[in-house]
Amino acid sequence: MAKLDPTKMKDWEIAAAAEADMKPVKQLAQELGLTEKELIPYGHYVGKLDYMSILDRLGNKENGKYIEVTAITPTPLGEGKTTTTMGLVEGLGKIGKKVIGAIRQPSGGPTFNIKGSAAGGGLAQCIPLTDFSLGLTGDIDAITNAHNLAMVALTSRIQHEFNYGDDVLASKNLRRLNIDPRNPAMGWAIDFSAQALREIIIGLGGSMDGFMMKSGFQITVSSEIMAILAVARDLKDLRERIGNIVVGYDKSGNPVSAGDLEVAGAMTALMVKALNPNIMQTIEGQPVFVHAGPFANIAIGQSSIIADRLGLKLADYHVTESGFGADIGFEKFWNLKCRFSGLIPNVSVIVCTVRALKMHGGGPTVAPGKPLDKAYTDKNTGLVEKGAENLLAHIATVKKSGIKPVVCINHFYTDADEEISLIRKLAEQAGARVALSKHWEKGGDGAIELANAVVDAAQEKVEFKFLYEVTTPLRKRIELIAKEVYGAADVSYTPEAEAKAKTIEADAKLSKLGTCMVKTHLSLSHDPAIKGRPKGWTLPIRDILIYQGAGFVVPVAGGIKLMPGTASDPAYRYIDVDVNTGKVKGLF
């Protein structure tokens, strides 16, 4: 491989150069010990894995070590969580460990917006980048179609029940569901950041053009079906969960499910292939499973349970990624994903950077397209020490689970030795191991210190415990998460949210569902403008959604929306195709 210099090359240029030396996907499968029939190739370098065959064959094999990657509260400067996940996989490979990574498939929303793709960066990336970023093997398309098919079933049923009497419905072998068009449980899905579709009116026209009603779109990766893909254990479990999705309510307030609409089977048919995890590779040739989706602020935001079950059977170390900071992604990994999977992690890696900690310490605002203030490039231990309060909050959260925390200082070339030493001291005093990692610049060679720290921590016994039990009332769970994880002083509810909470608590079935919080990822609080470790604030719950199929209720904090907006300078402006080679350029 030609020398790749991340200080002089863009990430997509590095990925394009590295792809010239990629291992064929069949070689990746052979190195994992898979049979020919267990790999489903999608071209030369990407494939899916027949998870049922693999788990049937390896079901009695002892699991490898289970490593989760999370981060401090994100900032516009970036913390490099996926970059660190890829770097750790490369570093473990460098010290001779059989390792697999698991990350989430990027959404078209951020890929074409301001965030870009989510393949990592520098010499710690998942490749091939174009396949990874632009649809991969069609999982998100399958989710979009399955979600929208449920809405087709709901809206067409409303129209037919409005237009026809009971005798006509009976002649078509349909029973009247009395669906309330003013109270749908969901809207439509599209995998772009399309703020113009948040609230719409559908059914304009005549009686054969649908029933006129208020509706809207959410981004596909926030769909309950994406959450189901993340937590389902197998096809039977997927089918049952899809049948339990609440699509709307009848005029008495009773739920109308995908099963009631007789659409669950067809929805599952669209999802069968998507249930098989995708296999790709790092720049250095270690296998990476890509499965389920991002956005832990508005969804569960976890790589799938199936991918993790496979990785733990096929490798000595399996590294899985959770979305955003430990208050968001790790909390859901801890109290939802681990509860559903029954898997107990050995280590959690908390990623931080000097520059991000400076912002949490009160550093100047960062504006896209403008040079960084010198506060972020010159030594400033005062800002680092103040900002480290955010890191210490996340260390405390991980420790409450009983999982061993390892802080990764994701190195940047402007970091001063004194700043790094200060972070080490503060994190170690808080009970975490600490490792400096230069994986962005040096790949696996730069992540050896991190890899060794993770291996060392993974040898210790884990005294794992959940934050709450399934019998804990919903409002008490929300209070525990708000106070113990976010650092809130109290919780408030809109009248609508409180009424829903009381209804859920009184229902024997709903009261045992998990709790999947929706909150901004940009602050420990509900206010994205508040950095650091805010204290003395109240978490406002404005609504509570029911994801009965996925197995949790969704309290919505603050003004966060399930459909992001596209910014004024989106990434799609810089993406293009070389018309001579067909190669995509400009992805980041």
Which candidate in 70, 83, 84, 144 is catalytic? 83
CATH class of 62-81+337-464: alpha beta
What is the reported pLDDT for 558?
84
Which candidate in 81, 355, 404, 533 is catalytic? 81
What is the reported pLDDT for 324?
87
- Annotated catalytic, 175? no
Whole-number percent of the chain with pLDDT over 70: 99
Which candidate in 115, 157, 442, 500 is catalytic? 115
What is the reported pLDDT for 105?
94
Q: In which band, very low, low, confident or very high, does the pLDDT at 2 lie, cut at 50, 70 and 90? A: low
Q: DSSP for 445-488? A: GGGHHHHHHHHHHHTSPP----SS-TTS-HHHHHHHIIIIII--
**Distance between CA atoms of 574 and 588, rounded to whole angstroms?**
9
**Under a CB-based contact definition with an 8 Å cutoff, are residues 160 and 123 in contact?**
no
Record the tokens describing residue 128, joined without a space. 């091939």
Encode pLDDT of 172-222 as tens digits.
889 999 999 999 999 999 999 999 999 999 999 988 899 999 999 999 999
- Annotated catalytic, 115? yes
Which candidate in 289, 412, 537, 588 is catalytic? 412
Burial (CB < 10 A; 0-12, 13-18, 19+), residue 105, is buried
**Under a CB-based contact definition with an 8 Å cutoff, are residues 406 and 453 in contact?**
yes
What is the reported pLDDT for 367?
76
Just give the CATH number of 475-557: 3.10.410.10
Least confident stretch, 249-253, 292-296, 339-343, 524-528: 292-296
Burial (CB < 10 A; 0-12, 13-18, 19+), residue 365, is exposed
**Distance between CA atoms of 511 and 505, rounded to whole angstroms?**
5
Encode pLDDT of 221-253 as tens digits.
999 999 999 999 999 999 999 999 999 999 999
- Annotated catalytic, 81? yes
Which candidate in 112, 188, 192, 440 is catalytic? 440
What is the reported pLDDT for 368?
65
- Annotated catalytic, 104? yes
Mean pLDDT computed over 45-65: 97
Answer whether residue 1 shows pLDDT above 60: no
Which candidate in 65, 104, 442, 500 is catalytic? 104
- Annotated catalytic, 162? no
Mean pLDDT computed over 364-371: 79
Q: In which band, very low, low, confident or very high, does the pLDDT at 298 lie, cut at 50, 70 and 90? A: confident
Answer whether residue 483 shows pLDDT above 70: yes
Encode pLDDT of 392-407 as tens digits.
999 999 999 999 999 9
**Under a CB-based contact definition with an 8 Å cutoff, are residues 311 and 320 in contact?**
yes
Q: Which has the closest alpha carbon to 505: 539, 553, 441, 461?
A: 553
- Annotated catalytic, 119? no
Which candidate in 192, 211, 217, 324 is catalytic? 324
Tell me the average pLDDT of the chain: 95
Just give the CATH number of 139-273: 3.30.1510.10
Name the residue ranges covered by the structural domains of the chain.
62-81+337-464, 139-273, 475-557
CA dihedral 135→140→145→149, nearest 10 degrees, is -170
